[in-house]
Amino acid sequence: MSGEGRDGRVRPVAITLGDPAGVGPEVIVKALAALDPGERAGLMVVGTRSVLERAAGITGADIAFHARGEAADEQSVAIEEIAIDGLPLPFGKLDPIGGEAAFRYIERAVRLTEAGETAGIVTAPINKEALNLAGHHYDGHTGMLAALTGSKSSFMLLASERLKAIHVSTHVSLRTAIDRASTERVLATIRAGNDHLKRIGYERPRIAVAGINPHCGENGLFGDEDTKFILPAVQQAKAEGIDAAGPIPADTVYYRAYNGAFDLVVAEYHDQGHIPMKLVAFDTTVNVSLGLPIDRTSVDHGTAFDIAGTGKANHVNMLAAIAYARRLAASRAAQ
């Protein structure tokens, strides 16, 4: 459902609208319409009502919105209204107004969650180019959320039913990713993944750490990063009592994890984790930010400007992100 604080108040999960020119508003209203009234009561949208109402008209979603704190019927969903000049935008248009709107939605949701007004955040997709055109220079949600919450760093976890991957680095060049795969960062990633899986019910998570070079460097033939940096991180994790294995060649580790040998794979860079996840669970993978003082989940797809405004966007991923956020809210309330 949603999170209940120590004062007994039920706190809703906040859903941010994303880039208003993309498919975010459409997948949000379709997902909300698919939920029963009791489930909708535990949710709140942070966004602009005119954009949501336009999306409801396009998709045929039988949903209405009311201001946060106001009484409403069971078909209506609470909204924290963020007024943005220039909205609604034309569909599929790259515009700094869209980037500014996306930032302000997220910023407000973060502040509400930090204040204990909401139990966590589900984010609809943003456009990184529009975000930067608006003067907000982040690599995406993960970096933005770390900055807004004052966190030193955060980790991207992609979660599906049969396969989960956490990333040592994400939106950087491959050359930079190799440099970032230090013993300290790999170890921190292992720890973050282990802590998260324990939180959601894994008693002793089995964590596989992927190698960064082909065949983990083949004893130095294809590079020595695996033995110099990744192996020591795995050894330290084991010394701390974490059930970690590796480095394991990336071309076999996901097959083994998918078939039950491991609960989580530590991916050394973006594509090493994203490609297998999107292959096996494109519509149901949830993007989860770890290492933050607040909980955040997201759909694992982009703004899809090419189909924005058609009503065709699939909302299954949004439903999965909402369900995962509720799971995290329940676990935090139980702590």
Set out the domains of the chain in order of their start, with CATH numbers: 1-152+291-335 (3.40.718.10), 155-283 (3.40.718.10)
The pLDDT score that the predictor gives to residue 38 is 87
Asked if the model's pLDDT at residue 8 lies above 70, the reply is no
- C-alpha to C-alpha distance for 221 and 212, rounded to whole angstroms: 13
The pLDDT score that the predictor gives to residue 259 is 97
Report the candidate in 306, 304, 329, 326 with the shortest Cα–Cα distance to residue 315: 304
Q: How confident is the model at residue 2 (pLDDT cuts 50, 70, 90)?
A: low
Average pLDDT of the segment spanning 200-213: 97
For 29-70, the pLDDT digits (tens) are 999 999 998 899 899 999 999 999 999 999 999 999 999 888
For 287-315, the pLDDT digits (tens) are 999 999 999 999 989 999 999 999 999 99
The pLDDT score that the predictor gives to residue 140 is 85
Buried b (16+ CB within 10 A) or exposed e, 10-46: ebbbbbbbbbbbbbbbbbbbbbbbbbeeebbbbbbbb
For 174-185, the pLDDT digits (tens) are 999 999 999 999
- C-alpha to C-alpha distance for 227 and 220, rounded to whole angstroms: 8
User: What is the SS3 string spanning the chain?
Assistant: CCEECCCCCEECEEEECCCCCCCHHHHHHHHHHHCCHHHHCCEEEEECHHHHHHHHHHHCCCCEEEECCCCCCCCEEEEEECCCCCCCCCCCCCCHHHHHHHHHHHHHHHHHHHCCCCCEEEECCCCHHHHHHCCCCCCCHHHHHHHHHCCCCCEEEEECCCCEEEECCCCCCHHHHHHHCCHHHHHHHHHHHHHHHHHCCCCCCEEEEECCCHHHHCCECCECHHHHHHHHHHHHHHHCCCEEEEEECHHHHHHHHHCCCCCEEEECCHHHHHHHHHHHHCCCCEEEEECCCCCEEEECCCCCCCCCCCCCCCCHHHHHHHHHHHHHHHHHHHC
Asked if the model's pLDDT at residue 6 lies above 50, the reply is no
Asked if the model's pLDDT at residue 213 lies above 90, the reply is yes
Q: How confident is the model at residue 73 (pLDDT cuts 50, 70, 90)?
A: confident
Asked if the model's pLDDT at residue 25 lies above 80, the reply is yes
The pLDDT score that the predictor gives to residue 335 is 62
- Name the pTM for this structure: 0.91
For 235-290, the pLDDT digits (tens) are 999 999 999 999 999 999 999 999 999 999 999 999 999 999 999 999 899 999 99
